[in-house]
Chains A and B, each alone.
Chain A
Amino acid sequence: MKISIASGKGGTGKTFIATNLASYIAERENTVLVDMDVEEPNSGIFIKGDNIHSEDKFKMIPEWESKNCTLCGLCQDVCNFHAVLKVKDGIMVFPELCHSCYACSELCPHSSLPMKPVKIGTLDHYRKGKLDFIESKLNVGEEQAVPLISQTDAYADYHLKNKIRICDCPPGTACPAIESVKDSDLVILAAEPTPFGFHDLKLIIKAMQKIGKRIAVVINKAGIGNDDTEIFCRENKIPVIAKIPHYRKLAVCYSKGELVYDRFGFMQTEMGKIYSHIKEIAK
């Protein structure tokens, strides 16, 4: 069971919901929390556990070997991303543009572009009671988050398959967000009921509907903004499964990196509602 917590706008409460929900569920069954926002992971601020495994993550990049190259230029013709270019009497590779598709390497008639691993980041696996927490970090300056996101997902698939998985996704509707929700059984959208939040919520709803994802909305900071989000969800038959009030004491805890699922009665109630919805879907 894979549940993704996504949002259109940033700062609507993805990490807040993901960390608290995962911790709530972990008191009931084995749970995995995966921080898919590898460009700026911050679930780790709230989840402290024993580091049980660390590994470096790589992507494969072609490296030009001049020896047998005839400068035929086939490599640049087959590259969809302009990551391989024939410049004068050499072949240049642009690692930031490369999508590791292997086309140039496989199709080169003289095997002059062997693929070599390049480190793009790290993955850490922590454990705290029944909660496994996986956090990957993309190296600063690395442009593509997708390869690390997919490898992080693969790690969880391989090592922690039969546990309920909560994914804290990157914001927006671009490749990193889409990659993160892949294979999710449910995408929970963290919605902030402001005009800006509503605008971006509609974008992510559209994106999720296009790729055929089951969605549900959690309204966070309820009480600010207006009712547009709720009206929209009602009219479009999108379930609003929980509402977390805008509450100063809670924000203060969050700002200190503290979990709140067990400290406020209403948080227990709202997390319980989300958990029930997940259980309903799992049936």
Chain B
Amino acid sequence: MKIAFTTKGKGWDAEIDPRFGRTEYIFVYDEESGNIEDIDNSGVSEHAHGAGPMTAQIITEKNIDILITGNGPGGNAERVISAAGIKTIAGAGGMTVKQAYDAYKNKKLN
């Protein structure tokens, strides 16, 4: 599975950004290959509108299977994410990426 996290920084110890559209970074972890990637999403702050769909589009382009985030995406972003068949897991706000991943693996997030 390829998993995307909305984060406030880089790497496994970064805190989950509870916001979806305006998340500062996106952390991508490919469970099969073990590869990780930090995507800088700070450019979105220049846009007054449409942050949700923009961030969602970045995620769809990475062929993500699962999205782990805090508050969950808004209506427009949700349309993009469901169209791409990505499963959203919310409620990880305040955790680090590592904690959120473990919580997801232990089925403590859904």
Chain A residues proximal to chain B, CB less than 8 Å: 81-83, 85-88, 90, 92, 94, 96-97
Contacts and interface: CB of A to CB of B under 8 A. Distances in A.
Contacts of B60: 87-88
Contacts of B107: none
Contacts, number: 37
A86 B49 CA distance: 17
B61 to A, nearest CB: 9
B49 A81 contact: yes
Interface of B is mostly: helix
A85 B57 CA distance: 7
Contacts of B56: 87
A94 B84 contact: no
A242 B47 CA distance: 41
A92 B60 CA distance: 13
B98 interface: no
Interface stretch (B6-14, B29-37, B75-83): B75-83
21 contacts: A81-B50, A82-B47, A82-B51, A82-B53, A85-B53, A85-B57, A85-B80, A86-B57, A87-B56, A87-B57, A87-B60, A87-B80, A88-B60, A88-B84, A92-B53, A92-B80, A92-B83, A94-B50, A94-B53, A97-B53, A97-B76
A181 B101 CA distance: 53
A94 B56 CA distance: 13
B47 A90 contact: no
